[in-house]
Structure 1
Amino acid sequence: MPDTPPARVSRTLDEWLAYQETTNVRDIELGLDRVRAVWEAMGAPRPAPIVITVGGTNGKGSTVALLEGMLRAAGYRTGTYTSPHLLRYNERVRIDGADAADADLVASFERIESARGAIPQTYFEFGTLAAIDVMARAGVDVAILEVGLGGRLDAVNIIDADGVVITTIDLDHQAWLGDDRDSIGREKAGIARAARPAVVGELDPPEGLLEALRGVGAMIERAGSSYWWETGTAPTWRWLHTDGASLELPRPALAAPVQFANASAAIAALHALRPVLTVPLAAIASALAQVRVGGRLQRIGERPLTVVDVGHNPQAARALAEWLDAQPRAGRVFAVYGALADKDVAGVVAAVGRRVDRWFLAGLDQDTPRGLPAAVLDAAVAAALPEAERAAFPGVAPAWQAAREAAGEDDTVLLFGSFFVAGAALTTRV
């Protein structure tokens, strides 16, 4: 039997989170039966009158933030749910742009515990139900929910979304989602609903995704077909739709060329939901110019330029490589890299390899049981890039310290590979 939470009436958020890790034997256990049963026992609260769900392999967090910014600039009260967090659990749930308060999360956890009886819930299922409950009690106008893993069997999918965005499809979490893009695309398509918009944000999506969306009867809005964008080198860029819509916009504050695709997908979702949402051009432009997301090519230092990114799979690494190629610089690139055991280290380092002059490899086994020890990571990088200059360290802090000492003022230090790397970089100063 799982441990019971502390007996006293008042429990802290940290105590609830520790307790949740004991209520189910698996960290990940896909399926909707358990979480749906508890949600229904809570009265089946809907997080908001209008719900947008965002799934995909990469770009979800940025797309959620852009949607949130655009809707708030248009005067809507928003609720957002994302995962994982960088520094504090409260980041996962935001109400009108502010992280949820401890008291609100605790109140929702208490309601979940009362409703669940003997039904086990994973840590993520507890969090999803709490996000839904906090938003419902806050009375938000629009909820934006990020899928944690996959789509069809992810806990977020107990909510029927009014519209969905599927950002990209690539190989990640193959143990749960499948070994090819078609299989993964079919799983991620499970968040779509019949006769409701489904934005496909990738220019070259797998056919499995499109087939599944057509099978559901979703109203597909496809990048490069239903809508597209023109960037060029001017201070502005243009978003266009086959219905004749054309928006001239400021370039996104979010770095990396891939952010044009994320921004375009967010705009396409709002465009498709015009019958229930009104978001003027000025609101879209304001959000593009202001929205930034922690851990997404976040600059935390200058001279040397120091950048933090949560990219952890080959597709994300290719986006990092594209960003590096676009940077005017004379110096070297030093990478502080750490990875989890289920990630494609070879694919990641191959994507950025020739652009990195020296690797500072950080073991993450002290941060999480899923983290690769430094020696294992070093062997994996050596196998993928035999000629790479590299050194291994027991954690992010010593790896970053070594990189900082080696870097000159014109160099770039890139810390990436995991939310654990990003979180450590944002809480440690060297």
Structure 2
Amino acid sequence: MPHSPASPGGASLGAGSSLEDWLRWQETLHPRSIELGLGRIARVAAALRLPAHDALTITIAGTNGKGSSAHLAELIYRKAGYHVGLYTSPHLLHYNERIRIDGEPCRDADLCRAFTAIEAARGNVALTYFEFGTLAALWLFREAGVQLQILEVGLGGRLDATNLVDADAALVTTIGLDHQDWLGDTREQIAVEKAGVFRHGRVAIAAEPAPPATLIAEATRIGALLQRRGQDFDVGRGENGFDWIGTDREYAGLPLPGIAGDAQIDNAAGVIALVEALQARLPVPESALRSALPQLRVPGRLTQRGDLLLDVAHNAEAAQVLAQAIERLYDETGVVLVLGMLDDKPHAAFVAALATRLNAVVFVDLPPPRGLKAEDLQARVQASLTADMPQRCCDNMRDALNQARSFAGGAGHIVVTGSFLTVAEALSTVDG
């Protein structure tokens, strides 16, 4: 018999419960915030008769670039006239950002309907917060009758909740050292986990020019139809555009993505390879590519807001991409860094990638249990900074931004980075 979930305060959630009530309750349901594995979610999905098989599925994994790639794929297919669902994580400001249908975040009421259906079906299965969201996305996409659902992997690939669905085509963007407690200590180990989204007889795209050999070996073992950057497709860069070159087709003079940087061209290369691989099933005209690329925007990815440049980079590889963007945007001018990071990130390597472009650093607290205190973060990165680098620690974002502006002076540049939480807090502070 379906049961009503109990809120942290003891009262039962009913049909009129708010989205905030549901999300707060979901955080208490499973004893661990992350619990990889498909057993729990598969049992509940079967009760919900998910996943639906009418929609084609694209799954996108990778250490960096998977969010931008997912948004670009959504935009291309929308420009081509398709009815598209997009599932991404984490959100920046509002949970609704995670589930989009035809470019619009789902409404609170629709999310609550999905959560109610999941709760009625789950029995005694203790789902995680992410598993609840994944099931809600699939349920809402089925309700909306989307033609294509694009799923961004949350963590890894093989055991991630999104891997419940057999993707018609899958993309792995880049492979770096992140979430090592869960995925392994080397790129080779992590590559095997990410290749878990590949399927036998279906297209698998490796967008990184030199992926670990284990990715290739795992794709071969699975029997996926692997297409590799540099062998089956590639890009040629120009000052104002780029070329995409495939085995049977070439797109010359494509406009640059709306998010600047070479990394976004790399991401676009993989997405276009996906689109080409599915042309027989979901035809996309060249005009859709040319229209979508310059319109790409993803909040928190090199987002300019007043005197701030905000970026959700949180690992060493992403910091290197951010450093290239700073160099391009600000020439030889240094920046003031506002930095807040989670405990399990490569703090010293992150700051080392940016160090030569820094004039000063302001460290800011992130909330427990995973967030670091500003003083602890400062201590972990001192070896990556010069001894005379101006530094301050702040326990809130408003003070951190004020201190950064003081360091920067009237003509300085301020970069806020280190975590989705850091960027979200900065945006809330500026907009609030």
Band the TM-score falls in, shorter-chain normalisation = over 0.9
Distance 1:298 1:385, change over 3 A: same
Alpha-carbon distance in 1 for matches of 2:77, 2:410? 40
Preserved contact between residue 203 and residue 223 of structure 1 (Cα < 8 Å): yes
Distance 1:333 1:291, change over 3 A: same
1:429 corresponds in structure 2 to 430
1:221 corresponds in structure 2 to 227
Alpha-carbon distance in 2 for matches of 1:409, 1:76? 47
2:266 corresponds in structure 1 to 261
**Structure 2 matches for 1:119-268, cutoff 5 A?**
119-233=125-239, 235-268=240-273
**Structure 2 matches for 1:329-340, cutoff 5 A?**
329=331, 331-340=333-342
**Structure 2 matches for 1:232-381, cutoff 5 A?**
232-233=238-239, 235-301=240-306, 304=307, 306-329=308-331, 331-365=333-367, 368-381=368-381
Matched-pair identity in %: 43
Preserved contact between residue 47 and residue 136 of structure 1 (Cα < 8 Å): no
Residue 234 of structure 2 aligns with an amino acid whose one-letter code is W
Structure 1: 5+ residue runs without aligned partners?
Answer: none
Larger displacement relative to structure 2 (393-402 or 59-68): 393-402
TM-score (ref. length: structure 1): 0.95
Alpha-carbon distance in 2 for matches of 1:32, 1:328? 46
1:383 corresponds in structure 2 to 383
Name the SS of the counterpart of 1:212 in structure 2.
helix
Preserved contact between residue 363 and residue 400 of structure 2 (Cα < 8 Å): yes
Preserved contact between residue 47 and residue 143 of structure 1 (Cα < 8 Å): no
Preserved contact between residue 313 and residue 417 of structure 2 (Cα < 8 Å): yes
Alpha-carbon distance in 2 for matches of 1:135, 1:3? 24
Residue 286 of structure 1 aligns with an amino acid whose one-letter code is S
Deviations 1:171-197 (CA, angstroms, capped at 9, x unpaired): 000001000000000000000101111
Deviations 1:102-153 (CA, angstroms, capped at 9, x unpaired): 1111111011101100011000000000011011101111100000000000
Structure 2: 5+ residue runs without aligned partners?
Answer: none
Q: How many residues align?
A: 423
Deviations 1:219-251 (CA, angstroms, capped at 9, x unpaired): 111112211111122x22111112243333111
Residue 405 of structure 1 aligns with an amino acid whose one-letter code is S
Residue 335 of structure 2 aligns with an amino acid whose one-letter code is V
Alpha-carbon distance in 1 for matches of 2:111, 2:72? 24
Alpha-carbon distance in 2 for matches of 1:49, 1:8? 31
Q: Could you say what the CA RMSD is over the residues aligned between the two structures, in angstroms?
A: 1.5
Q: What is the aligned counterpart of 1:41 among 38, 41, 47?
A: 47
Preserved contact between residue 300 and residue 312 of structure 2 (Cα < 8 Å): yes
TM-aligned CA deviation for residue 209 of structure 1: 1.2
Preserved contact between residue 15 and residue 116 of structure 2 (Cα < 8 Å): no
Larger displacement relative to structure 2 (156-165 or 379-388): 379-388
Alpha-carbon distance in 2 for matches of 1:383, 1:330? 23
Deviations 1:357-399 (CA, angstroms, capped at 9, x unpaired): 111111113xx42100111001012133252332111122211
Alpha-carbon distance in 1 for matches of 2:303, 2:40? 37
**Structure 2 matches for 1:72-151, cutoff 5 A?**
72-151=78-157
TM-score (ref. length: structure 2): 0.95
Deviations 1:39-94 (CA, angstroms, capped at 9, x unpaired): 00111232752100000000011001100110000000100000000000000000
Preserved contact between residue 48 and residue 135 of structure 1 (Cα < 8 Å): no
Name the SS of the counterpart of 1:429 in structure 2.
helix
Preserved contact between residue 312 and residue 419 of structure 2 (Cα < 8 Å): yes
Preserved contact between residue 62 and residue 156 of structure 2 (Cα < 8 Å): yes
Deviations 1:305-351 (CA, angstroms, capped at 9, x unpaired): x2100000001001111112223435331110110001010110111
1:393 corresponds in structure 2 to 394
Alpha-carbon distance in 2 for matches of 1:167, 1:160? 18
Alpha-carbon distance in 1 for matches of 2:187, 2:13? 47
Preserved contact between residue 310 and residue 417 of structure 2 (Cα < 8 Å): yes
